[in-house]
Amino acid sequence: WINEMKELGKTWTWVQIFENRGAIMGCSNPHPHCQIWASSFMPSEPERKDKQLREYYTRHKKPLLIDYVNRELEKK
């Protein structure tokens, strides 16, 4: 799946891998399986998160996740 995602990511703006849990989700294929979806646009929620993360990086010159991990480690 990683190779597929990398390859599709060269062409498409948004690539998403997800697990379809078969009949539970209304799928005609009864067993759980993964699927990949690629689109020329980014869905609204990920687009908002991406914008916020980019703004954080611009202000602080480092990824938000780095600061988050450091704060969690300080709690220990």
Say whether both 34 and 49 belong to one domain. Answer: no
Q: What is the pTM of this model?
A: 0.62
For 26, the domain range is 1-41
Q: What is the pLDDT of residue 30?
A: 64
Q: Are residues 28 and 55 in the same domain?
A: no
Is 72 strand, coil or helix? helix
Helical residues (DSSP H) of 1-76, grouped into ranges: 2-9, 44-60, 64-75
- Residue 34: the pLDDT is 79
Query: Is the same domain home to 27 and 47?
Result: no
Please say whether the beta carbons of 33 and 64 come within 8 A: no
Do 47 and 37 lie in one domain? The reply is: no
CA–CA distance, 56 with 51 (Å, rounded to integer): 9
> How confident is the model at residue 33, as a pLDDT?
72
The answer to whether residues 5 and 37 belong to one domain is: yes
Full pLDDT tens readout for the chain, 76 residues:
889 999 999 999 999 988 776 665 566 666 667 789 899 999 999 999 999 999 999 999 999 999 999 999 999 8
| From 7, 9, 29, 33, the catalytic residue | 33
60 flagged as catalytic: no
Give the burial class of 74: count Cβ atoms within 10 A of its Cβ; 0-12 exposed, 13-18 middle, 19 or more buried.
exposed
Q: Indicate whether 28 and 63 sit together in one domain.
A: no
